[in-house]
C-alpha cells in the first residue's frame, strides 16, 4: 500500500508515503551539513514566516457583507416599502481570502422551531450562487451547502434588509489510484470518504461513498479517512488525507493487486468446463471470494491463494500466486481418474 499527495494550490512540492515510511522529494533531499557559524558573524534578520493556514484564528463564519443590493423601493426607515417581510441576501466564500462563490451552492432556510413531527420546518430553498429570500420576522437557521462542505448559522429577521457573508472554511480533494507510477487505474476503482471519529460501535461516519477516480469532492477543512477499493474483493487501501481551506488536495493511492481469471480445463489450453463453482481461500483458510461459472474473474491483492473448483460432484484444489499488475488466467487441470488436483497452470 502506498499513497502520494500533491497540493497544487497550496505548494509546488509533492510528498509521498510508501507503507509507513516517508519518501523524500527533490525539495527535501539530504544535503551536506552546513559549516559551524563564526561567533563574530552578524546575525541577519529572519525572513517573514510563512503563514500556516491551520494556525490562523477562527474564520468569521457569518458576518455582515457590504453588497451592492437594495430592494426596489424602500420606506423612510430603510424597510421594504409596503412589505411586512424582511429581505435576506446571502453570499458565500471558501475562505476569507477567496472570491465569492457563483455556483454550486445550496441554501436552505429553516424555522428554528420544530413542527409536530419534531423536525425543523424548511421555509425556503435556493440553488446556484447568491441566495435571496423574503422572510417573515422571526428566528431562522441558514444551512449552506457546497458539495459536502456545509455551514449552519442563525439569524433573527425583522422587516428590513439583511446582507450576510458565509465563510465555509472549505477545500476539496481529488482522488486517484494506480498500481505503480506507470499504471493508473481508471476502471473498477471506487473511493469512500469517512470522518476521523468513531461511534459507539467503533465505526467511522461515511461522508460520501462510491466516488469514481478524478472526482473533486468539496469538503470542510479537516482530516478525512479515505478508502480505495480496486475490484470487489480484498484489494483495499486506506489513507488519512488533510483538506486545507481554499485548496485542492490531490491524493494518489497505490494498490498491489492483479486481475485473475479462473478456468477448469481437462488439459492445458483446453476449453473451460462450464457449471463450475469456485472458492478462493487465503493461506489461513479464510474465504476471499466465491463464484460460479466457466470464467470467473476477480481483482485480488498480491499474495498466495488456494483455489477450490467443484464440478459434477468432484472437487479440485490448487494454489497460485498473484503479483502486482500481472493480470492472467489460472488454469486448474481436472483429472479423469482422481479428484486429486494437478498443479495450477498460469497463463
pLDDT of 79: 46
C-alpha cell at 7: 497540493
Q: Phi/psi of residue 230, each to 5°?
A: -105, 110
Long-range contact set of residues 310-319: C-beta below 8 Å, sequence gap at least 24: 310/276, 310/277, 310/278, 310/279, 311/264, 311/273, 311/275, 311/276, 311/277, 312/275, 314/339, 315/339, 316/264, 316/341, 317/341, 318/342, 318/343, 318/344, 319/343, 319/344
Q: What is the mean pLDDT of residues 274-289?
A: 95
Residue 112 — very low, low, confident or very high, per pLDDT cuts 50/70/90? confident
Helix, coil or strand: residue 81: coil
Of the pLDDT bands very low, low, confident and very high (cuts 50, 70, 90), residue 140 is very high
CA–CA distance from 293 to each of 32, 195, 220, 230 (Å)? 61, 39, 46, 22
Average pLDDT value over all residues in the chain: 81
> What does the alpha-carbon distance between residue 228 and residue 253 come to, in Å, rounded to a whole number?
7
Provide φ and ψ at 201, rounded to 5°. -95, 5
pLDDT digits (tens, 9 = 90+) for 54-86: 444 545 566 666 554 444 444 444 444 445 789
Distances (CA, A) of 157 to 210, 232, 321: 40, 52, 68
Work out the pLDDT band at 5, boundaries 50, 70, 90: low
Give the sign of the dihedral formed by CA 203, CA 206, CA 212, CA 215: negative
- Only one residue has cell 423574503, namely 134
pLDDT over 60 at 227, yes or no:
yes
% of the chain beyond a pLDDT of 90: 66
Q: What is the mean pLDDT of the segment spanning 91-115?
A: 92
Q: Give CA–CA dist 224/55, Å, rounded.
A: 19
- Identify the pLDDT of residue 300: 98
Q: In the structure, what pLDDT confidence band is assigned to residue 289 with cuts at 50, 70 and 90? A: very high
State the average pLDDT over residues 45-62.
Answer: 49
pLDDT at 318: 92
The pLDDT value recorded for residue 272 is 92
What is the mean pLDDT of the segment spanning 286-308? 96
pLDDT digit string (tens) for 237-248? 999 999 999 999
Average pLDDT over every residue of 166-176: 96
Residue 330 has phi, psi (to 5 degrees) of -115, 115
Query: What's the pTM value of the predicted model, to 2 decimals?
Result: 0.74
Amino acid at each position: 500500500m502506498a499513497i502520494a499527495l500533491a497540493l497544487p494550490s497550496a505548494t509546488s512540492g509533492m510528498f509521498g508515503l510508501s507503507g509507513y515510511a516517508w519518501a523524500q522529494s527533490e525539495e527535501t533531499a539530504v544535503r551536506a551539513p552546513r559549516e559551524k557559524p563564526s561567533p563574530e558573524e552578524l546575525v541577519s534578520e529572519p525572513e517573514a514566516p510563512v503563514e500556516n493556514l491551520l494556525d490562523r484564528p477562527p474564520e468569521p463564519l457569518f458576518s455582515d457583507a457590504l453588497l451592492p443590493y437594495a430592494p426596489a423601493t424602500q420606506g423612510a426607515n430603510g424597510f421594504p416599502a409596503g412589505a411586512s417581510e424582511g429581505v435576506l441576501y446571502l453570499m458565500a466564500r471558501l475562505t476569507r481570502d477567496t472570491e465569492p462563490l457563483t455556483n454550486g451552492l445550496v441554501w436552505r432556510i429553516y424555522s428554528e422551531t420544530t413542527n409536530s413531527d419534531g423536525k425543523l420546518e424548511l421555509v425556503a430553498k435556493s440553488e446556484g450562487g447568491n441566495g435571496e429570500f423574503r422572510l417573515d420576522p422571526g428566528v431562522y437557521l441558514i444551512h449552506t451547502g457546497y458539495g459536502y462542505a456545509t455551514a449552519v448559522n442563525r439569524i433573527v429577521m425583522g422587516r428590513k434588509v439583511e446582507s450576510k457573508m458565509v465563510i465555509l472554511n472549505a477545500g476539496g480533494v481529488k482522488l486517484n489510484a494506480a498500481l505503480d507510477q506507470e499504471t493508473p487505474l481508471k476502471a473498477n476503482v471506487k473511493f469512500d470518504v469517512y470522518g476521523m471519529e468513531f461511534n459507539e460501535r467503533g465505526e467511522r461516519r461515511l461522508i460520501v461513498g462510491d466516488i469514481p477516480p478524478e472526482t473533486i469532492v468539496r469538503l470542510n477543512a479537516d482530516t478525512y479517512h479515505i478508502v480505495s477499493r480496486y475490484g470487489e474483493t480484498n484489494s483495499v487501501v486506506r489513507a488519512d488525507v488533510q483538506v486545507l481551506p481554499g485548496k485542492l488536495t490531490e491524493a494518489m493511492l497505490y494498490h498491489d493487486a492483479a486481475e485473475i481469471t479462473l478456468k477448469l480445463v481437462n488439459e492445458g489450453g483446453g476449453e473451460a468446463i462450464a457449471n463450475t463453482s469456485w472458492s478462493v481461500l487465503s493461506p489461513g483458510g479464510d474465504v476471499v471470494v466465491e463464484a460460479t461459472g466457466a470464467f470467473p474473474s476477480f481483482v485480488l491483492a498480491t499474495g498466495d491463494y488456494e483455489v477450490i473448483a467443484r464440478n459434477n460432484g468432484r472437487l479440485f484444489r490448487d494454489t497460485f500466486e498473484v503479483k502486482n499488475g500481472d493480470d492472467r488466467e489460472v488454469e486448474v487441470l481436472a483429472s479423469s481418474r482422481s479428484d486429486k488436483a494437478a498443479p495450477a497452470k498460469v497463463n
